[in-house]
């Protein structure tokens, strides 16, 4: 005799939600609103649906293996020492953990040099960092995804006002009388492009030529790029570094060249990290922890409205 007991698919259909949403509502998992959860459970009670105990344990991730829902922080960075060399990532993790609070959700961090070809074990949600737009869109089609920084159209993201931060840095150097300004920009990513655009807009308006070099958010490239700038413009009296890690290389190159900071050459970074504080470096502060907190909140509740750009603020110290 065929089993005529209602299934989870029957509950989902009657409640007007997906089977995945019905499962989360029944299991008390995150990702559905209280309204949806109550509706699904009311429909289940009306239909007489009773989840199998083993299936329920597997669905909630609390089977014998002890697995839980997890949020994966996926970082694309070829530097194997990136997690220790770049304060940005530790600040992201701080903000993500703040958002999770006491939620029974694991936080998993994965740094890769290149994106994996397969996605055999998708998490509850993903926080993407440095993931190219097309790849970000592909991940978004597979499940809930939020990027830190602008990504492909249709991919929800959280980002600071990079353009405004670049603008503030350039305005500070111009108004303080610097005339031979250089810049070490970042890699071809949306956040680096926005910082470059804001910075160059000020110089164009002030009719100040800029000596620029491309960077990659590393100290080593900041060092070599600054040596290139000095060779091309010996009168260099200011350098904008598009991140604080890059600025550390800039400072090293200037010291070795016998240039005094800030008497001879002013230096401004971007991030406002502990590196900037330790080096007494003028830097554009961006609220990385708040970015990550907002991103995780949007992973937990996709119904939240799209987040606005977070403000950036230049902190002037002795380097400029």
What mean pLDDT, rounded, does the chain reach?
89
> Which pLDDT band holds residue 172 (cuts at 50, 70, 90)?
very high
pLDDT at 30: 58
Domain 162-287 has CATH 3.40.50.1580: no
CATH superfamily of 70-160+289-305: Response regulator (3.40.50.2300)
Which residues does 259 contact at the CB level (< 8 Å), separation at least 6?
A: 230, 236, 265
> Which pLDDT band holds residue 53 (cuts at 50, 70, 90)?
very low
> Which pLDDT band holds residue 225 (cuts at 50, 70, 90)?
very high
pLDDT in tens, 234-257: 999 999 999 999 999 999 999 999
* pTM of the model as a whole: 0.79
pLDDT in tens, 286-316: 999 999 999 999 999 888 898 899 999 999 9
> Which pLDDT band holds residue 140 (cuts at 50, 70, 90)?
confident
Mark out the alpha helices in 61-182 (DSSP H runs).
Answer: 82-85, 87-100, 133-142, 162-175
Backbone angles phi and psi of 210, in degrees to 5:
-125, 140
Q: Is the pLDDT of residue 47 over 90?
A: no
pLDDT at 174: 98
Give the C-alpha separation, 128 to 295, whole Å: 10
pLDDT at 55: 45
* Domain ranges, ordered by start, for the chain: 8-60, 70-160+289-305, 162-287
What's the CATH code, domain 8-60?
Answer: 1.10.260.40
Vertex 291 angle, CA 287 and 297, to 5°: 145
Q: Is the pLDDT of residue 62 over 80?
A: no
Query: Is residue 190 classed exposed, middle or buried when 0-12, 13-18 and 19+ CB atoms within 10 A define those classes?
Result: middle
> Which pLDDT band holds residue 3 (cuts at 50, 70, 90)?
low
CA distances for 193 relative to 70, 150, 184, 281, angstroms: 32, 11, 12, 22
Q: Tell me if domain 70-160+289-305 and domain 162-287 are identical in fold.
A: yes
pLDDT at 22: 79
């Amino acid at each position: 005799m065929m089993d005529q007991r209602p299934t989870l698919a029957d509950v989902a259909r009657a409640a007007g939600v997906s089977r995945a949403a019905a499962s989360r509502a029944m299991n008390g998992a995150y990702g559905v609103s209280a309204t949806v959860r109550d509706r699904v459970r009311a429909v289940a009670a009306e239909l007489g649906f009773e989840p199998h105990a083993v299936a329920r344990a597997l669905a909630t991730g609390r089977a014998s293996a002890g697995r839980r829902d997890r949020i994966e922080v996926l970082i694309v960075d070829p530097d194997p020492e990136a997690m220790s060399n770049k304060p940005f990532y530790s600040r992201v993790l701080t903000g993500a953990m703040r958002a999770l609070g006491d939620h029974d959700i694991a936080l998993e961090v994965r740094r890769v040099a290149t994106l994996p070809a397969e996605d055999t074990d998708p998490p509850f949600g993903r926080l993407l960092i440095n993931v190219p737009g097309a790849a970000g869109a592909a991940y978004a089609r597979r499940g809930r995804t939020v990027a830190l920084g602008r990504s492909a159209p249709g991919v929800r993201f959280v980002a600071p006002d990079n353009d405004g931060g670049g603008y503030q840095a350039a305005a500070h150097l111009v108004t303080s009388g610097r005339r031979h300004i250089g810049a070490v920009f970042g890699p071809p990513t949306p956040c680096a492009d926005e910082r470059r655009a804001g910075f160059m807009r000020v110089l164009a308006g002030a009719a100040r030529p800029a000596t620029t070099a491309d960077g990659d958010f590393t100290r080593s490239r900041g060092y070599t790029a600054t040596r290139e700038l000095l060779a091309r413009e010996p009168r260099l009296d200011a350098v904008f570094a598009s991140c604080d890690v890059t600025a550390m290389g800039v400072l090293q190159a200037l010291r070795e060249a016998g240039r005094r900071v800030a008497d001879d050459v002013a230096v401004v970074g971007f991030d406002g990290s502990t590196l900037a504080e330790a080096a007494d470096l003028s830097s554009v502060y961006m609220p990385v922890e708040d970015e990550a907190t907002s991103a995780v909140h949007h992973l937990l509740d996709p119904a939240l409205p799209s987040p606005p750009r977070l403000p950036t603020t230049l902190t002037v110290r002795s380097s400029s």
